[in-house]
């Protein structure tokens, strides 16, 4: 009360809201008026931020928190009344006619697309000290994840414009969602690398705010233990991206510019853009309002399962059921074994890789109604079975793939299943946890993420007629992986199957110990016989034919231990480094 005269009208409103929502305790230990006034001002600044960054404001957050905490205490099942079943989607086989047609369509549509990368997470499971998008996707060329994404978008932009009949000047917009944990370092990475060739005006960063932590079932906000004039905060999850896109006004700008698609993706999947053209082609052909990319999923793998949920009252929806919820849901609905592999060796539920393609028009219609708010959940860790107190404060969370939960049944929600070797190799687990992954399940580590790129490129070249040798099995950081020839190319060399096929002719061979790096656009492989390392670097206009035998000592992989702190963290987490012994360099 006695501090009131110091407050601005806006601060008085916020104070009233806090008192009316049962947050009196926040002011209990405040000093006398005139003492620590700067801290008090900073408190209201924080409350104002928490209030304005949440759809409906802080009062609405507290109200929802009370409801969700009551449901959680009562043990209410979020899927109450719903029965899960395996949904039907578009299942693609890489390289067949259907796939090629979808890719062709996807490239045409790309000039009407915008890309959104969610990169606000610190990746606690990986334990890497930097931001994840700054990690090399592979160490043969050292291409970083963010670089790979930007170069892929630029390659799509060029390919799409080349197909267009008109004088195409399209610059595909690229939004990155950051958080306080990643924002400054993402800007620095972009600026110190000249935006990896993208025009800075194409890139927009939207920073998500954290949300208030909750101390108990009454949703009393948690006071920061280090400063009694602050509220504890934690990340709210990748679902924030929808509210941020809405409040930034950017969706309307895109709509007015004639865009039709928004593609969402995550921070560390070095294969993703091999799947994008075909997936976008599916969206356009099937006219999906929502299209999720999926891969065959091993039971208990830490990726969500795409599931059809049918309610007793007849409602149905196709939605991601998160990996920790799928098993209990199955057990509760007449599947006593829970989340298990079927005769194919995979879970019958396709795995969500959280690559969503939304049609912009229906997306804007929907989030204009909701403000971009996504259905939230709460996951308190209770002290005991009475569920009356928490071990530590909790908060509401939301996931971007829950967007379809508020859609009407008429919405066209589909999904597209691709081969995992082509589409999905995230870097999420630290070496120790990866080594503990059950045999046969993917490691999702820096080691497996890099090896997956070489495998995918090798398999693609095999499909277009190159004789690529079989891999050998090696162990790095306790993980058994297939080591294929280290083949990499810039996205502009070949983003689609048809484009790669056009650039390979004659009969070429590549031995297992080989390394091949293609950096030009018009590089053609013709009767190449490679046993060693070959680096081809050509300017865009140069047409280069690569022929004949190339043999040298090549580049080798040397084991390193992840505990060896003399080695940079980016390498250590892979368990190997590349020794560049001898190579042939072709520059044009
Ligand atoms: N992220 C944010 O931008 N902000 C946040 O507050 C949190 C995360 P994780 P998760 O495809 O591999 C998801 O932690 O959430 C970004 C799906 O929910 O890597 O455990 C973060 O930077 C799951 O269904 O993944 O699991 C990163 O880019 C499954 O599909 C992204 O969000 C799984 O990903 C994902 O964050 C998967």
pLDDT of residue 550: 97
- Locate the ligand 1 atom nearest the alpha carbon of residue 235 and give its number: 6
pLDDT of residue 439: 85
Return the bridge partners of 535, or none: 517, 585
- 238 CA from centroid of ligand 1 (Å): 6
Question: For 337-356, how does the pLDDT look when each residue is reduced to its tens digit (9 = 90+)?
Answer: 999 999 999 999 999 999 99
Helix H, strand E, coil C: the string for 476-489 is ECCEEEEECCEEEE
What is the residue with the minimal CA distance to atom 5 of ligand 1?
Answer: 237
pLDDT of residue 26: 96
Q: What are phi and psi of 167, to 5 degrees?
A: -85, 85
CB 181 near ligand 1, within 6 Å:
no
CA-nearest of 321, 458, 482 to 399 is 321
Please report which confidence band the pLDDT of residue 23 belongs to, taking 50, 70 and 90 as the band edges: very high
The whole-number average pLDDT for the span 59-65 is 97
- Locate the ligand 1 atom nearest the alpha carbon of residue 428 and give its number: 19
What is the residue with the minimal CA distance to atom 26 of ligand 1?
Answer: 303
Asked if 358 contacts 50 with a C-beta cutoff of 8 angstroms, the reply is no
- Locate the ligand 1 atom nearest the alpha carbon of residue 399 and give its number: 18
Q: Does the pTM exceed 0.80?
A: yes
Mean pLDDT of the chain: 95
pLDDT of residue 4: 63
Return the bridge partners of 474, or none: 481
What is the residue with the minimal CA distance to atom 11 of ligand 1?
Answer: 353
Residue carrying structure tokens 């047609």: 101
- 547 CA from centroid of ligand 1 (Å): 44
CB 351 near ligand 1, within 6 Å:
no
pLDDT surpassing 80 at residue 6: no
- 528 CA from centroid of ligand 1 (Å): 41
Length of the chain: 588
CB 119 near ligand 1, within 6 Å:
yes
pLDDT of residue 210: 94
Strands (E), 427-553: 467-468, 472-476, 479-483, 486-489, 504-505, 509-510, 515-518, 523-531, 533-537, 544-551
Question: For 181-208, how does the pLDDT look when each residue is reduced to its tens digit (9 = 90+)?
Answer: 999 999 999 999 999 999 999 999 999 9
- 119 CA from centroid of ligand 1 (Å): 9
What is the residue with the minimal CA distance to atom 6 of ligand 1?
Answer: 237
The whole-number average pLDDT for the span 556-570 is 94
Give me the helices (H) in 37-112, please: 37-52, 57-73, 97-109
The whole-number average pLDDT for the span 474-480 is 97
Asked if 327 contacts 305 with a C-beta cutoff of 8 angstroms, the reply is no
Question: For 351-396, how does the pLDDT look when each residue is reduced to its tens digit (9 = 90+)?
Answer: 999 999 999 999 999 999 999 999 999 999 999 999 999 999 999 9
Q: Which two tokens stand for residue 177?
A: 């969602």
pLDDT surpassing 80 at residue 3: no
Pocket-testing residue among 54, 119, 121, 292, ligand 1, by greatest number of atoms within 8 A of Cβ: 121
With vertex at residue 237, the alpha carbon angle to CA 210 and CA 181, rounded to the nearest 5 degrees, is: 50
Q: What percent of the chain has pLDDT over 90?
A: 87
pLDDT of residue 508: 97
The whole-number average pLDDT for the span 521-544 is 95
pLDDT of residue 2: 55
- 355 CA from centroid of ligand 1 (Å): 10
pLDDT surpassing 90 at residue 1: no
């Amino acid at each position: 009360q006695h501090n009131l005269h110091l407050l601005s009208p806006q601060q008085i409103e916020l104070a009233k809201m806090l008192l009316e929502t049962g947050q009196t305790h926040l002011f209990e230990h405040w000093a006398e008026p005139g003492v620590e006034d700067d801290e008090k001002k900073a408190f209201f600044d924080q409350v104002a931020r928490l209030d304005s960054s949440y759809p409906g404001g802080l009062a609405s957050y507290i109200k929802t928190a009370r409801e969700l905490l009551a449901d959680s205490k009562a043990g209410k099942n979020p899927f109450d009344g719903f029965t899960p079943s395996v949904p039907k989607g578009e299942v693609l086989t890489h390289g067949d006619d259907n796939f090629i047609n979808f890719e062709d369509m996807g490239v045409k549509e790309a000039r009407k697309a915008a890309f959104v990368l969610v990169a606000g997470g610190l990746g606690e499971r990986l334990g890497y000290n930097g931001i994840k998008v700054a990690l090399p996707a592979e160490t043969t060329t050292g291409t970083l994840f963010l670089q790979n994404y930007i170069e892929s978008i630029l390659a799509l932009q060029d390919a799409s414009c080349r197909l267009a009949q008109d004088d195409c000047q399209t610059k595909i917009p690229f939004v990155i969602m950051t958080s306080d944990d990643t924002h400054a370092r993402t800007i620095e990475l972009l600026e110190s690398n000249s935006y990896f060739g993208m025009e800075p005006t194409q890139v927009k960063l939207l920073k998500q705010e954290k949300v208030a932590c909750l101390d108990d079932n009454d949703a009393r906000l948690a006071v920061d233990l280090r400063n009694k004039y602050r509220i504890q905060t934690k990340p709210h999850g990748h679902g924030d991206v929808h509210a941020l896109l809405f409040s930034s006004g950017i969706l309307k700008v895109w709509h007015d510019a004639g865009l039709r698609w928004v593609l969402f993706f995550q921070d560390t999947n070095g294969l993703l853009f091999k799947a994008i053209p075909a997936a976008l082609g599916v969206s356009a052909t099937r006219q999906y309002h929502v299209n999720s990319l999926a891969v065959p999923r091993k039971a208990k793998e830490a990726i969500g399962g795409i599931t059809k949920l049918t309610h007793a009252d007849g409602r149905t929806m196709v939605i991601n059921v998160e990996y920790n919820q799928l098993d209990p849901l199955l057990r509760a609905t007449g599947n006593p074994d829970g989340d298990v592999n079927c005769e194919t060796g995979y879970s019958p539920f396709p795995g969500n890789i959280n690559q969503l393609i939304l049609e912009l028009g229906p997306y804007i219609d929907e989030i204009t109604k909701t403000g971009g708010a996504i259905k939230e959940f709460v996951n308190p860790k209770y002290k005991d079975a009475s569920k009356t107190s928490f071990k530590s404060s909790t908060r509401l969370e939301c996931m971007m793939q829950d967007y379809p939960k508020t859609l009407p049944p008429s919405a066209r929600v589909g999904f597209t299943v691709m081969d995992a070797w082509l589409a999905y190799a995230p870097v999420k687990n630290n070496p120790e946890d990866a080594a503990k992954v059950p045999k046969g399940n993917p490691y999702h580590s820096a080691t497996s993420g890099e090896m997956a790129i070489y495998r995918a490129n090798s398999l693609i070249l095999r499909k277009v007629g190159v004789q690529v040798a079989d891999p050998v099995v090696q162990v790095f950081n306790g993980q058994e992986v297939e080591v294929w020839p280290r083949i990499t190319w810039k996205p502009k060399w070949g983003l689609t199957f048809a484009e790669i096929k056009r650039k390979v002719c004659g009969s070429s061979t590549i031995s297992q110990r080989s390394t091949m790096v293609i950096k030009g656009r018009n590089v053609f492989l013709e009767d190449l016989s490679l046993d060693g390392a070959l680096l081809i670097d050509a300017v865009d206009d140069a047409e280069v034919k690569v022929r004949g035998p190339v043999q040298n000592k090549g580049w080798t992989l040397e084991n390193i231990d992840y505990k060896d702190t003399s080695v940079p963290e980016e390498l250590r987490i892979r368990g190997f480094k590349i020794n560049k012994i001898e190579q042939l360099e072709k520059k044009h």
